């Protein structure tokens, strides 16, 4: 039975052929019932149809991933697993006895966080999702993965400079009179440098890290395919919409690779705030002449971290708790607005 039909066929033709083919094979191969996972109520025809869809999805995801990237990520993942395992083994060798179950379980959050860090941008981003979702994950995991929020490895400035000049198609000195080589912040996908435009404005430059695009494409394809496999093996998982959720995460994270979309969203939100006469919230202005797909130059805003409660007390007439609530509400409004506009 061919798994892939010609691309010139209509969807109706493909469905018809697939159904007929699946039905024919299912009738000729009654042993299919024994191949299905325990408790699977699908008919042999449904089982074959789902299997064909899984192979087609896997082929499509594989086509979107360059072979050399997939191979490199496989080697990197193997090294990360071996490194994490060796570090854990070395830690327990020091106690002079076999670890108890409770001791092993206690090390799971930190070991998993360390593995995510070694696996790189995609998994650090997923770790940040864990850290930001205290209602979805146990407290010990949320606390541990908060280290992923600000512990990303910085990229040397020489490589950052090369990305800026390549993407803007200009020398750095033609756009900026000053760029601080030490990053203000570094995250999984990008890092930020303070700078000053030739026209005198204080700005920050958000620069996409090298190789992040191919890395995310390969990793997210693997995650998406894994959830599809899980749903194929156990159809009950479809009730959790795992594949749909990971598909949305994949789309969102890949969209983050295009800073022109982020600049557009910020401009639209600024217009929304102006139209609603909202002066309690602001978003930084974007400088299009110094921005591109991998470089985003924004107005520099000075402030204090939300965890600095003493600073909030000093600068706000409200209590720190009230200020944080206001910030959270405004953040959700921004997210909803962007979601509606997309």
Position 286 in a domain: no
What are the pLDDT digits (tens) for 181-236? Answer: 999 988 878 999 999 999 999 999 999 999 888 777 777 777 777 777 777 777 77
Rounded average pLDDT over 64-85: 76
pLDDT greater than 80 at residue 164: yes
Question: Facing residues of 178 across strands?
Answer: 196
CB 227, CB 320: distance < 8 Å? no
Place of tokens 């979805």: 136
The residue out of 27, 46, 63 marking a domain boundary is 63
CA distance 174 to 82: 46
d(CA 188, CA 257): 11
Average pLDDT over residues 314-340: 58
User: Is residue 112, in this structure, part of any structural domain at all?
Assistant: no
Does the residue 217 lie in any domain?
no
Q: Which domain holds residue 44?
A: 11-63
Among 133, 147, 293, smallest CA distance to 212 is for 293
| Partners of 204 in beta bridges | 194, 298
- Going by C-alpha positions, the residue among 150, 130, 149 that lies closest to residue 140 is 130
Q: Which of the given ranges, 3-7, 141-145, 229-233, 335-339, has the highest pLDDT on average?
A: 141-145
Asked which of 21, 47, 63 is the last residue of a domain, the reply is 63
Using the 8-state DSSP alphabet, how is residue 285 labeled?
-
User: Is residue 322 in some structural domain?
Assistant: yes
Which of 30, 48, 63 represents a domain boundary (last residue)? 63
State the DSSP string of 173-208: HHHEEEE-SS-SEE-SSEEEEEEEETTS-EEEEEEE
Report d(CA 141, CA 110) in Å as an integer.
8
Instruction: Tell me whether residue 326 is in a domain.
Output: yes
Q: Is the pLDDT of residue 250 over 50?
A: yes
Note whether residue 289 is domain-resident. no
Tokens 């607005």 found at: 337
Q: For residue 331, what pLDDT band results from cuts at 50, 70 and 90? A: low
Q: Is 342 within a domain?
A: yes
4 falls in which pLDDT band (50, 70, 90)?
very low
Number of domains in the chain: 2
Beta bridge partners of 296: 206
As a 3-state breakdown, the chain gives helix, strand, coil percent values, each rounded to 5, of: 65, 10, 30
Q: Are 309 and 298 in contact (CB under 8 A)?
A: no
Give me Rg for the CA atoms of the chain. 25
Pair 325, 306: CB distance under 8 Å:
no
- Is 285 inside a domain boundary? no
pLDDT digits (tens, 9 = 90+) for 29-44: 454 455 455 456 767 7
Nearest Cα residue to 195 out of 179, 177, 173, 171: 179
The pLDDT value recorded for residue 152 is: 72
Q: Which one of 12-16, 100-104, 207-211, 308-312 scores highest in mean pLDDT? A: 207-211
Instruction: Please enumerate in sequence order all residues whose Cβ is within 8 A of that of 86, keeping only pairs 6 or more positions apart, or say none.
Output: none
Q: How many CB atoms lie within 10 A of CB 12?
A: 8
């Amino acid at each position: 039975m061919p798994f892939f039909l010609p691309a010139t066929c209509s969807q109706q033709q493909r469905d018809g052929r697939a159904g007929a083919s699946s039905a024919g094979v299912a009738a000729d191969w009654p042993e299919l019932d024994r191949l299905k996972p325990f408790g699977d109520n699908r008919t042999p025809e449904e089982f074959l149809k789902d299997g064909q869809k899984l192979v087609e999805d896997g082929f499509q995801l594989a086509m979107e991933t360059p072979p050399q990237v997939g191979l490199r990520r496989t080697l990197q993942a193997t090294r990360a697993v071996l490194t994490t395992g060796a570090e854990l083994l070395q830690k327990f060798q020091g106690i002079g006895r076999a670890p108890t179950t409770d001791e092993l379980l206690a090390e799971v959050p930190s070991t998993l966080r360390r593995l995510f860090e070694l696996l790189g941008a995609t998994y650090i981003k997923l770790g940040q999702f864990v850290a930001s979702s205290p209602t979805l994950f146990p407290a010990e995991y949320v606390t541990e993965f908060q280290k992923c929020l600000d512990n990303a490895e910085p990229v040397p400035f020489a490589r950052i400079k090369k990305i800026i000049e390549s993407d803007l198609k200009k020398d750095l000195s033609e756009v900026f009179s000053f760029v601080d080589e030490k990053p203000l912040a570094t995250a999984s996908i990008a890092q930020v440098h303070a700078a000053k435009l030739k026209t005198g404005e204080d700005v920050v430059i958000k620069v996409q890290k090298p190789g992040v695009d191919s890395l995310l494409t390969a990793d997210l394809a693997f995650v998406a395919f894994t959830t599809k496999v899980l749903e194929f093996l156990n159809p009950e998982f479809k009730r959790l919409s795992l594949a749909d959720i990971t598909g949305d995460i994949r789309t969102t994270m890949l969209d983050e690779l295009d800073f022109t979309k982020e600049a557009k969203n910020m401009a639209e939100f600024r217009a929304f705030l102006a139209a609603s006469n909202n002066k309690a919230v602001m978003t930084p202005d974007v400088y299009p002449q110094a921005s591109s797909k991998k470089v985003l130059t924004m107005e520099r805003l000075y402030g204090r971290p939300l965890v600095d409660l003493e600073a909030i007390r000093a600068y706000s007439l409200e209590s720190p708790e009230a200020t944080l609530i206001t910030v959270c509400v405004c953040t959700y409004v921004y997210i909803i607005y962007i979601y509606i506009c997309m």
